[in-house]
A = this chain, B = another copy of it.
Amino acid sequence: MPSRQRIREGDNVLLYLSKRRSYMVKVERSKSFHTHKGYVELDSLIGKEYGTRLLSNLDTEFVALKPSLRDFIFKAQRKTQITYPKDVALIVMFSGIGPDNRVVEAGTGAGALTTALASYVKPSGRVYTYEIKPEFQEVALKNLKKAHVEDYVELKSKDITLGIEEKNVDAVILDLATPWLVVAHAYGALRGSGNIVSFSPTIDQVVKTVEALEESGFVDIGTFECMMREMQVARGKTRPQTLMTGHTGYVTYARKALKEK
């Protein structure tokens, strides 16, 4: 089944101007979108194929791209810290999740990581995402809807450090300030051999979480960080970029071993 190719009214489109500037906009009739490079008429896009080039009234070229997962992650409204696609990619890989899996996540935040998890467990899996701050629920739901994955997510306005209600889940993903307080609950919620992945910016969070994992009966415990550096590529002038995000966080992962032998 190929992806749908034509832009429809109500679609979110990524208006691409340059590597540094692109805009996620909703296509609506009689609406124009204004930038410092002029405005574009959005209803001219309806019925066009994704990837279409269009000109602003100032003759600047834009491309109407179909948003990818990494756009939904980057463009998620940020009332919390930024979640980077590289970290989402690695968290997903070490969570071992795929279509049909059931996953517990905390905290939801603006829903950037939730969107990614939902994208990989659909069509028949489910993400149960815990968030203690009620004000994030609305933001997260809005972002999930943009990516059309809201049907695969259950938003829970609960404190995960008090317990996890789901059982036999395939993975538990933690991106909150005190992951070590959730480790024992995660052990209870996971199926045998299930994966836990925790993302934390500080060393101390990592140490406490690894200790809790060791005590709770997890095995294959590991921690790493991933430093991503962009390249400037141009014949005769190729070089790494000067500025770089040097640290986002550490990824800690483990798998549940059963206690009885």
Contact = CB atoms under 8 A, between A and B. Distances in A.
Contacts of A211: 235
- Most B CB contacts (10 A, CB to CB) among A50, A98, A258 go to A98
A230 B122 CA distance: 31
Interface string A187-211: 0000111110000011110110011
23 contacts: A2-B170, A19-B221, A51-B193, A51-B255, A51-B256, A52-B192, A52-B260, A63-B257, A66-B193, A68-B96, A68-B255, A70-B96, A86-B226, A89-B93, A90-B90, A203-B238, A204-B236, A204-B237, A207-B233, A225-B240, A226-B228, A240-B246, A244-B247
A227 B226 contact: yes
Interface string A229-261: 111011111111111111110101001111111
A143 B90 CA distance: 22
A190 B201 CA distance: 36
A233 to B, nearest CB: 4
The 6 closest A-B pairs by CB, nearest first: A244-B246, A51-B192, A68-B96, A89-B93, A240-B247, A50-B193
B86 A93 contact: yes
Interface stretch (A23-31, A99-107, A131-139, A156-164): A99-107
A46 interface: no
Interface string A152-192: 00000000000000001110000000000000000000011
A206 B233 contact: yes
Contact of A119 (B70, B98, B222, B223): B98
- Most B CB contacts (10 A, CB to CB) among A2, A52, A125 go to A2
Interface of A: 1-3, 5, 16, 19, 22, 49-55, 61, 63-66, 68-70, 85-86, 88-90, 92-94, 96, 98-102, 119-120, 122-125, 168-170, 191-195, 201-204, 206-207, 210-211, 219-231, 233-248, 250, 252, 255-261
Copies in the complex: 4
A224 B228 CA distance: 7
A247 B257 contact: no
Nearest to A54: B261
A227 B224 contact: no
- Most B CB contacts (10 A, CB to CB) among A222, A228, A250 go to A228
A246 to B, nearest CB: 3
A181 B120 CA distance: 31
Nearest to A233: B210
Contact of A191 (B51, B68, B194, B261): B51
